[in-house]
Structure 1
Amino acid sequence: MSKKPNLILTDDEDTFRNIMTKELSRMGYNVVSCASGAEALKNIEERDFDIVILDINMPVMNGIELLKKVKALDSTTEVIVLTGQGTIENAVQAIKLGAYDYVTKPCRLTELQILLQKALEKRQLNKENVHLKRLVKDAQKTPLLIGNGAAITAVHKMVEKIAASDAIVLLQGESGTGKELVAQSIHQHSPRANRPCVVVNCATLQETLLESELFGHVKGAFTGATELRVGLFEIADGGTIFLDEIGELSVNTQAKLLRVVQSGEIRRVGDNRIITVDTRIIAATNKNLAAEVKNGRFREDLYFRLNVITVSLPPLRERREDIPLLIDHFLRNFCRKREKKHVLPEALTAMTRYSWPGNVRELENTVERLVVLAEGEDISVDDLPENIRGISPFRNAAGCPEGTLSDVEKKHILRVLHEKQCNKTLAAEALGISLKTLYNKLKVYHIDL
């Protein structure tokens, strides 16, 4: 862990406690020293601790009682029990109640140091595994940025430069240009590569659930909160969190995110304790955040915090030289369990001329459909969707542009909607964009179905 672990030491013997505080600080821990169980509990209720060291024999609130309360607050907090030779049975009881281990007083510092390191490792593993399966997407998969054209090569070079730093990155680009792929690439080329990279789509989560997802919640925080839930920022501690579609966040959630960006501190929903996290933030949007700030839909202070390093991803129409490489890559992926297929030159020419408003995602979806539906090994022009087949849908019969990019996009959306019989879900899938993005474009272009 790159940050100093937080540790609380609880013992009613002043001399022992003072000596141990100095030694633990020397080992590299942020140490809070407490003379009683009540004092320790007050600190634990206000702040997150990685490890609690407590003495079994303390007046008023003994170690067993304090252990139960600590575990009730956060089951991932590791507890090491201090005990004398005469209270080994109590130490064994403490382990049954969830303590990590025990040491006898007076303890050997080397033994304690090894124990603390193992307890820290167990705590981190527990935090990651609580919801790891639903949170981490393709953590072991090496992302590939396909292409060797000038536009994508510039992105490659930018990734190499910024990966080694901890600076916040803002990825800008149209839907389907591969922003998540770039975020994964930055993470996997960084010193944080062996830690989680957690992906969050801010547009798909309800506002009422988003805060709980990002920061976690405690048991009883709201109806349905039946257990403590670790937030995404905690699970990404030491790693990276990718906030996709950050422009969709409500102003209220933006304010809470600003606090994390500024201080690295979070609070679980329903909890007053401060938790410090060391999480690199990569954000992405297909919106013009500067314009959103001007219109009052995005906080200016958060925008300037996020806009440290900006990477603009080119749309596919600006990197046509990469289209054959991408088609070949997707064909290999989708033909693994089927017969080998390839695109005939005429079809490849048509696909290269096409402007792909849904970008790489639309191209991937199209190749998958071609693999499934095309008969035989050869994919011809006749196998292509109507909007891609023949003369490029973005040029008229004379070969001249049909109009502005907005005109072209509007006409293409209308073509696909007609092809899908106005089924917006199928149309969005064919376009390679989200349903929410399609609704936004229908509104912008005043398309009334």
Structure 2
Amino acid sequence: MRLCKAKASPYIAKYFIIKNHFENYDNFMGKKPTIIFTDDEDTFRNIMAKELSRMGYKVTCCASGAETLKNMQERDFDVVILDITMPGMDGIETLRKIKDLESTTEVIILTGQGTIENAVQAIKSGAYDYLTKPCRLHELDVLLQKALEKRQLQRENAHLKRLVKDAQGTSIMVGNSIAINALYKMIHKVAPSDAIVLIQGESGTGKELIAQIIHQLSTRAHKPFVVVNCATLQETLLESELFGHIKGAFTGATESRIGLFEVADGGTLFLDEIGELTVNTQAKLLRVVQSGEVRRVGDNRIITVDTRILAATNKNLVLEVKNGKFREDLYFRLNVITLSLPSLRERQEDIPILIDHFLDNFCQNTQKKKLLPEAMSVMMQYPWPGNIRELKNTLERLVVLTEGDTISPEDLPDNIRNPLLTSGEIKGAEITLSDIEKKHILKVLHEKQGNKTLTAEALGISLKTLYNKLKAYHIDR
């Protein structure tokens, strides 16, 4: 028995009452769920297409199983609603062929007979569930929500154990310098948007931490935060990781796998060291950035994703573009908002705060070790070419190897105690009076706890001269 226009009205009315209890799907999924509605009867198909569209779904109508399969070979859909009784290829056969595509699309069967045999056969063949016709729209809506939730969980769980960061609590930035405070203000402005953010900075400055904070402060915080390091994977493997692949796409592809863009659907994908991408992969990434559509390796189907991209690099992408190593069009797409992270040399006033923070973390199960003032002075003078990562690793080593509760200058590694002799930046004949003067000013400034008047007196110069030197050496405090 088929639903006609006259019978649709009472079910539509009940739907709008139930609808108030559910969130709009644009909020739930980040985009309109895509539905194929397949039925060979024109009147019923047109009515349901209209009502499903009104309910917030993006609907594609098909009159046969063959037409449904053709659409699914071209594009990825969230759910297929499939009539079980159709001429030619019936619903059960169409369902089986859909499952042969190894698609994660969920299928809901509509049956006019309502027999237990048909329902069992449909579910055994891989259907999510079934409804008898005529169906109430609110019942169909609830079933669609459950099918969408199942599909989303399947997509997230496929790779979460491998590459998704499990953020324990909220990530924080440590520091109180002018540069860090300005950066934090910028992060709070850009985080709520869906804009692409390009994070630039030297290795070890905390680019991934910044990406985590942006994700946690965004409306996508309840969705996956997926990290991929573009520098550690070969080109072919990287494409498979980003976009996924189908079974048999290449040697060793023994099963289909969804890509990280799909895993991060609704959430955030962090592309670390994006400057290491090959030009070929850059072209494929550009297509995703422009259209929000991906194709798995070896597959022609289009998959629509709603994934926010955060990218990071320690390279000068402007120079890379000039040298032909990075696509100019991709650079302009990524360079919507740029965050530049200061090196540790540019925020030396944060070093004592960072040291205290790391010592707290590394001494949680033992008595906290204390850094003697003389050791602190030595660490303040060191240029920290490895930035925060080097500082963190150094302190962890000191906590493990230093005996007693205090850390003295003698406990520090040689490269830190003698930076002018071991630094990659300053050594031998390359040492200049300016280098020595800058380090000495910083040392005295730290000893005087940032008091510029006392610092000028200790250096034997006027306060105006000190300010001029601070400006010349780019010392904020």
TM-score range, shorter chain: 0.7 to 0.9
Question: Match of 1:6?
Answer: 34
C-alpha displacement at 1:399, in angstroms? 9.2
Question: Match of 1:290?
Answer: 318
SS for the counterpart of 1:3 is coil
Question: Match of 1:275?
Answer: 303
Q: Could you say what the CA RMSD is over the residues aligned between the two structures, in angstroms? A: 2.0
Q: Aligned partners of 2:248 and 2:365: how far apart in 1? A: 48
Q: Deviations over 1:238-268 (max 9, x none)?
A: 1111111000000000000000111111101
C-alpha displacement at 1:335, in angstroms? 1.5
Question: Match of 1:194?
Answer: 222
**Aligned counterpart for 1:97 among listed residues 99, 110, 125:** 125
Question: Match of 1:306?
Answer: 334
1:248 aligns with 2:252: no
**What amino acid maps onto 1:29 in structure 2?**
Y
C-alpha displacement at 1:339, in angstroms? 3.5
Question: Match of 1:125?
Answer: 153
8 Å CA contact 2:271, 2:310 repeated in 1? yes
Question: Match of 1:21?
Answer: 49
Q: Aligned partners of 1:336 and 1:71: how far apart in 2? A: 52
1:325 aligns with 2:353: yes
C-alpha displacement at 1:331, in angstroms? 1.2
8 Å CA contact 2:245, 2:299 repeated in 1? yes
C-alpha displacement at 1:396, in angstroms? 8.6
Question: Match of 1:165?
Answer: 193
8 Å CA contact 2:114, 2:132 repeated in 1? no
Please say which of residues 66-75 and 3-12 is displaced more in the overlay.
66-75
Q: Aligned partners of 2:274 and 2:126: how far apart in 1? A: 39
8 Å CA contact 2:409, 2:417 repeated in 1? yes
Q: Aligned partners of 2:33 and 2:247: how far apart in 1? A: 24
**What amino acid maps onto 2:107 in structure 1?**
V
Please say which of residues 370-379 and 39-48 is displaced more in the overlay.
370-379
Question: Match of 2:177?
Answer: 149
Q: For residues 88 and 325 of structure 1, do their structure 2 counterparts lie closer, same or farther at Cα, with a shift above 3 Å needed?
A: same
C-alpha displacement at 1:327, in angstroms? 1.1
Q: Aligned partners of 2:136 and 2:364: how far apart in 1? A: 58
Q: Deviations over 1:157-196 (max 9, x none)?
A: 1100101111111111100000000011111111111111
SS for the counterpart of 1:7 is strand
Q: Aligned partners of 2:354 and 2:417: how far apart in 1? A: 18
Question: Match of 2:412?
Answer: 384
* Greater C-alpha Rg: 2
8 Å CA contact 1:350, 1:392 repeated in 2? no
Q: Aligned partners of 1:6 and 1:244: how far apart in 2? A: 31
Question: Match of 1:265?
Answer: 293
Q: Aligned partners of 2:121 and 2:432: how far apart in 1? A: 83
Q: Aligned partners of 1:247 and 1:326: how far apart in 2? A: 29
Q: Aligned partners of 2:202 and 2:170: how far apart in 1? A: 23
Which segments of structure 1 move beyond 4 Å, counting only runs of 4 or more?
A: 390-399
C-alpha displacement at 1:85, in angstroms? 2.9
Question: Match of 1:426?
Answer: none
Question: Match of 2:206?
Answer: 178
Question: Match of 1:212?
Answer: 240
**Aligned counterpart for 1:55 among listed residues 83, 93, 102:** 83
SS for the counterpart of 2:417 is coil
**What amino acid maps onto 1:155 in structure 2?**
L
Q: Aligned partners of 2:212 and 2:223: how far apart in 1? A: 12
Q: Aligned partners of 2:300 and 2:42: how far apart in 1? A: 29
**Aligned counterpart for 2:165 among listed residues 137, 148, 152:** 137
Task: Kindly tell me the number of residue pairs found equivalent between the two proteins.
Answer: 405
Q: Aligned partners of 2:368 and 2:121: how far apart in 1? A: 63
8 Å CA contact 1:396, 1:402 repeated in 2? no
Q: For residues 290 and 390 of structure 1, do their structure 2 counterparts lie closer, same or farther at Cα, with a shift above 3 Å needed?
A: closer
Q: Aligned partners of 1:59 and 1:337: how far apart in 2? A: 72
Q: Aligned partners of 1:76 and 1:367: how far apart in 2? A: 47
Please say which of residues 353-362 and 94-103 is displaced more in the overlay.
94-103
Question: Match of 2:473?
Answer: none
1:352 aligns with 2:384: no
Please say which of residues 295-304 and 387-396 is displaced more in the overlay.
387-396
8 Å CA contact 2:245, 2:257 repeated in 1? yes
Question: Match of 1:43?
Answer: 71
8 Å CA contact 2:383, 2:419 repeated in 1? no
Q: Aligned partners of 1:78 and 1:256: how far apart in 2? A: 28
Question: Match of 2:461?
Answer: none
Identity of aligned residues (%): 75
C-alpha displacement at 1:75, in angstroms? 4.3
Q: Deviations over 1:124-174 (max 9, x none)?
A: 111000111112113344211110110111110110010111111111110
Question: Match of 1:236?
Answer: 264
Q: Aligned partners of 1:28 and 1:322: how far apart in 2? A: 50
8 Å CA contact 2:247, 2:254 repeated in 1? yes
**What amino acid maps onto 2:278 in structure 1?**
S
C-alpha displacement at 1:62, in angstroms? 1.6
SS for the counterpart of 1:31 is strand
C-alpha displacement at 1:276, in angstroms? 0.8
Q: For residues 108 and 396 of structure 1, do their structure 2 counterparts lie closer, same or farther at Cα, with a shift above 3 Å needed?
A: closer
Q: Which runs of 5+ in 2 are unaligned?
A: 1-28, 439-477
C-alpha displacement at 1:402, in angstroms? 4.9
8 Å CA contact 1:56, 1:91 repeated in 2? no
